Amino acid sequence: MSFQPPGQCPSCGEWVPRKALACDCCGACAKSGWKASADVYDGLDLPDEDFDYNEFVEREFGSETSLKTTSRETLWRWVAAILLAVMVLGYLLSVR
């Protein structure tokens, strides 16, 4: 069941005015299901609940997969650099 203003805040018992989005007293709001303010602040400051921080870190930084990706990128950078050097050398030789 969900609380609908106006009425008493289910969390702290203060009167919540009509069309209020959150309780002035404790910060409970419709988004959090009118729970205590700690839950509200979690919802405001952190990304969605399905956001997995550990998975994000592993994907972006630590894991073996990203290391492989990085070394592959380095290889391609070397290939590009060598190709560029060959092209520049060929251009210089053809100019002479």
Binding positions for Zn ion, rule: CB under 5 A: 9, 11-12, 14, 23, 25-26, 28
Q: Where do runs of H (alpha helix) occur along 1-96?
A: 37-45, 53-57, 64-95
Pick the closer one to Zn ion by CB: 37 or 58. 37
Pick the closer one to Zn ion by CB: 5 or 58. 5
**Tokens matching residue 53:** 């921080």
CB of residue 32 to Zn ion, shortest distance in Å: 11
17: region left, alpha or beta (phi > 0 left; psi from -120 to 50 alpha):
beta
CB of residue 60 to Zn ion, shortest distance in Å: 38
Hey, how many other C-beta atoms are within 10 angstroms of the C-beta on 20?
A: 15
CB of residue 49 to Zn ion, shortest distance in Å: 22
Pick the closer one to Zn ion by CB: 14 or 52. 14
Integer Cα distance of 37 and 70 in angstroms: 43
